[in-house]
A and B are shown apart, each in its own frame.
Chain A
Amino acid sequence: GDSVTQMEGPVTLSEEAFLTINCTYTATGYPSLFWYVQYPGEGLQLLLKATKADDKGSNKGFEATYRKETTSFHLEKGSVQVSDSAVYFCALSGRSTLTFGKGTMLLVSP
């Protein structure tokens, strides 16, 4: 079945540091890939998505590129802010529902 593996957290960074959260997947066919973010006390929000190979999703300074050859969709941001502290979930949408990774907590200190 489909699966998503993402790096374990927490990831602790200082403000303005570069962020990478790794995500790899296993799926049949050609899934769409997503990053969702969950801020403390809130529900999930769609951060960005990519629907086919080599697509780059971007939003709020975050980027991720759909790499079919490496089955990866790593999340990056050039300069993180304290307000980026949250839990980030990588997910794929296959034929039916959404499969999530376990989430990676990001903590950004001033």
Chain B
Amino acid sequence: GAVVSQHPSWVICKSGTSVKIECRSLDFQATTMFWYRQFPKQSLMLMATSNEGSKATYEQGVEKDKFLINHASLTLSTLTVTSAHPEDSSFYICSARGAGGSLGSGNTIYFGEGSWLTVV
């Protein structure tokens, strides 16, 4: 079964509104969570890395004020796309790396199911 749950699976929003995507680790504590964006026919692009209780580290070229990431607990990280525009339409995927244990072994990263965002 899934060890990382992402919600919603798909969302359609109007241009100018904000959308929140949740990423939850199940059965393990995720000390680090990652957010990726996937453009059509391209590989995943890492957007940011978040550690529980601290500010996210954004990759070059990613607007931190537009893509707000919060990692408030060891099992939940959220990505908020603020003032969304059609060019933000994409597939967003989160992943989580655990602190240890049978599932979240430090060197294995599990992915959420992904969220399709369409901005109209």
Contact = CB atoms under 8 A, between A and B. Distances in A.
Nearest to A32: B107
Given A102-B42, A103-B43, A97 B34 contact: yes
B35 to A, nearest CB: 11
Given A43-B112, A44-B114, A51 B43 contact: no
A100 B46 CA distance: 10
Nearest to B59: A97
Contacts of A98: 34, 46, 95, 109
Contacts of B114: 42-44
Interface in B1-52: 6, 34, 42-44, 46, 49
Q: Is the interface of A mostly helix, strand, loop or mixed?
A: strand
A46 B111 contact: yes
Interface of B: 6, 34, 42-44, 46, 49, 93, 95, 107-114
A43 B43 contact: no
14 contacts: A32-B107, A34-B109, A43-B6, A43-B111, A43-B113, A43-B114, A44-B93, A44-B95, A46-B108, A97-B34, A97-B46, A98-B95, A100-B44, A102-B43
Q: Contact size class for A?
A: 10 to 19
A101 B113 CA distance: 19
B30 to A, nearest CB: 13
Contacts of B110: 46
Contacts of B109: 34, 93, 98
A89 B46 contact: no
